[in-house]
Chain A
Amino acid sequence: MTVKVLFFGPAADAAGRSELVLEGAVDTDELRQRLLGLFPKLRQLGFLMAVNKQVVQEKAVLGNQDVVVLLPPYSGG
Chain B
Amino acid sequence: MKEKKKHKVFMQGPVSPAFIAESIAKHSVKTNIGAHDIFLGQVRNDVINGKEVKAIAYSAYEEMADEAVYRIREDAFEKYDLTCMHIYHSLGLVRAGEISLFVFVSSAHRGAAFDACREIVERIKKEVPVWGKEIFEDESYSWKQNKEAI
Contact = CB atoms under 8 A, between A and B. Distances in A.
Interface of A: 6, 8-10, 13, 50, 53, 69, 71-77
A77 B121 contact: yes
B41 A74 contact: no
Contacts of B143: 9-10, 13, 72, 75
Interface of B: 41, 58-61, 63-64, 67, 89, 100-101, 121, 124-133, 143-146
A53 B144 contact: no
Contact of A76 (B63, B64, B132): B132
A69 B126 CA distance: 17
B145 A76 contact: no
B64 A75 contact: no
Given A10-B143, A74-B131, A75-B130, 11 more contacts: A8-B129, A53-B64, A53-B67, A69-B61, A71-B61, A72-B131, A74-B126, A74-B130, A76-B89, A76-B130, A77-B41
17 contacts: A8-B59, A8-B61, A8-B131, A9-B131, A50-B64, A69-B61, A72-B131, A74-B130, A74-B146, A75-B144, A76-B101, A76-B128, A76-B129, A76-B131, A76-B132, A77-B121, A77-B125
B11 to A, nearest CB: 13
A12 B112 CA distance: 39
A33 to B, nearest CB: 23
